[in-house]
Amino acid sequence: MKEEHIIKQLSTLKSIEPDAGFARSARTTILYRSEPMPARFFGLTQSLSTTLSIGLVVMLFVFIALGGVATMLRTPLSPTFQGVDEQSLASEAGSINQTIDARLSEVAYISGERENKLVMATTPSDGDSNADKEIDLLLTQAKGY
Amino acid sequence: MEGEKNLVEKARKGNSEAFGILYDYYLPKIYRFVLFKVSHKQQAEDITQHAFMKAWENMGGYKPQGHPFGSWLYRIARNSVIDYYRKNEFSVDIEAVSPEALGIDNSLIAKLEVKLEWEKILNAIGGLTEVEQDVLIMRFVEDLPHGEVARAVDKSENAVKVIQHRALKKLKVTLSKK
């Protein structure tokens, strides 16, 4: 079938018309039951909806920007360790440890002497029992330290 | 349409008489366009009425911009058909499309030959895509120029020409088989 014949057949469909009753009733319904929006109000509603859309976009950008600012502000308030050298921290801690060890060893020495003295003091001697009791009491007190 | 610009301008300002004249002129075209797409007389009437009602309600916002009023109307009609399909799920039995189903006046289909030809072509149109149907109906049933059709279907003129060529080719194949 040739295209020209198809086009001719399509053009014959032009003779189809709507029902006259429908045409009349639809006209009445459309023209007398619905009202057009006046041009000035149409423009107003269009500009209002445009303004609202722009406003929403602006708010979105502000929200995103605030989120970025909040992230930037948060960092100074919280402690950061960016300027701290790990190695110096470790050496400092090490020297503190050494100091503590030295003190502990001093204390150990002193307490060791004291114990020796205590041991010597507790060696029974022939002599005065009252003095012994007193010494025992002192020794007990010293051990308590 | 002669004097269409003046009528459109009056209708924009709310003149119902002016819109009535535009309605009388465009009703058969829009009705046919919708009828061939939905293949059902009652639905075509409902959709056509809805399309004109939308056009009248939105006349205040219509801006010619150098394009014919008809393109705008066809666009509204096209969208009304799409809306109707969305809201009412129904399928058209392509094989059942007939001049009687479309409510076509019996006097027009008195000759059996005419009846059979119309049945064939209407069924073939039903097998095309939506935009192919739109282009063929607007171009060859309503004799619209490529520019107006392009405006109505929201495509370029070149695209419309390609769609037209493709659609005619499809019809040729379909009608040759029957």
Count other C-beta atoms under 10 Å from residue B111's C-beta. Answer: 9
Q: What is the pLDDT of residue B155?
A: 96
pLDDT tens-digit map of B13-38? 999 999 999 999 999 999 999 998 88
More confident residue, B97 or A31: A31
Q: Please check whether residue B168 lies inside any domain of the structure.
A: no
Q: What average pLDDT does range A61-74 have in this prediction?
A: 79
Question: What pLDDT shows up at residue A120?
Answer: 57
Torsion angle of alpha carbons A57, A61, A63, A69, nearest 10°? Answer: -170
Does B103 score more than 70 pLDDT?
no
CB contact under 8 A, B32 and A13: yes
Please report the pLDDT score of residue B67 as a whole number. Answer: 81
> Is there a domain that residue B50 lies in?
yes
Residues sharing a CB contact under 8 Å with residue B163, sequence separation 6 or more, in sequence order: B131, B132, B135, B155
Chain A residues close to B137, C-beta within 8 Å: 10
Cα of A60 to nearest chain B Cα, Å = 30
- 3-state SS, residue A80: coil
Q: Interface pTM (ipTM) of the complex?
A: 0.83
Give the H or E element holding residue B20: helix B16-38
Q: Is B105 on the interface with A (CB under 8 A)?
A: yes
The answer to whether the Cβ–Cβ distance between A42 and B20 falls below 8 Å is no
Inter-chain CB proximity B121 and A26 less than 8 Å? no
* Distance (Å, whole) CA A48 – CA A40: 12
Best of B27, B43, B134 to substitute, by most chain A Cβ atoms within 10 angstroms, is B27
Q: Write the pLDDT tens digit of every residue in A8-27.
A: 989 988 888 999 999 999 99
Nearest Cα residue to B152 out of B30, B21, B13: B30
Span of A8-22, B7-21, B116-130, B160-174 with lowest mean pLDDT: B116-130
- Cβ distance B57 to A18 less than 8 Å, yes or no, reads no
Q: Which of B37, B43, B57, B177 has the most A C-beta neighbours within 10 Å, making it the best mutation to test the interface with A?
A: B57
Q: Within 13 A of B115's CA, how many CA atoms are on the CB side?
A: 13
Q: Which positions 28-87 of B are in contact with A (Cβ < 8 Å)?
A: 28, 31-32, 35-36, 41, 45, 48-49, 52-53, 56-61
What CATH number should be reported for the domain holding residue B52? Answer: 1.10.1740.10
Can you tell me the distance from the alpha carbon of B144 to that of B157, in angstroms, rounded to the nearest whole number?
12
Any domain includes B66: yes
- pLDDT tens sequence across A40-49: 566 666 677 7
Tell whether B165 is covered by a domain. Answer: no
CA proximity to B178, closest of A28, A1, A57: A1
The reply to whether B17 falls in a domain is yes
Asked if A60 and A67 count as a contact pair (C-beta separation under 8 A), the reply is: no
Q: What is d(CA B50, CA B34) in angstroms, rounded to the nearest whole number?
A: 11
Is A35–B118 a contact, with Cβ atoms under 8 angstroms apart?
A: no
The token pair at A44 is 């107003």
Contacts of B13 (CB under 8 A, 6+ apart): A39
Which residues have C-beta within 8 Å of that of residue A129, sequence separation ≥ 6? none
pLDDT mean over A98-111: 73
Between chains, do B23 and A13 touch, taking CB under 8 Å as contact? Answer: no
- The answer, yes or no, to whether residue B58 has pLDDT greater than 60, is yes
How near does any CA of chain B get to the CA of A80, in Å?
Answer: 59
Domain count, chain B: 1
What's the rounded Cα separation, in Å, for the pair A59 and A45? Answer: 21
Does the residue B174 lie in any domain?
no
Judge whether B163 lies within some domain: no
CA angle B131, B132, B137 (to 5 degrees): 100
Listed residue (B44, B4, B30) closest to B138, CA to CA? B30
Tell me, yes or no, whether B10 lies in a domain: yes
The domain containing residue B15 runs over which residues? 1-92
pLDDT exceeds 80 at position A72: no
Summarize the confidence of residues A70-77 as an average pLDDT: 67
Interchain pair B48, A30: CB under 8 A: no
- Listed in sequence order, the residues at least 6 apart from B123 whose beta carbon sits closer than 8 Å to its beta carbon are B94, B95, B97
Q: Which of B45, B60, B102 sits opposite A42 (nearest CB)?
A: B60
Residues of chain A with Cβ-Cβ distance to B31 below 8 Å are 17-18
Find, among A30, A21, A40, the residue nearest to B22 by Cα. Answer: A30
Residue A124 pLDDT: 54
The alpha carbon of residue A42 and the mean position of all alpha carbons in its chain are separated, in whole angstroms, by 47
Closest CA to B136 of A8, A2, A1, A7: A7
Helices (H), A3-128: 3-12, 20-33, 39-77, 86-122
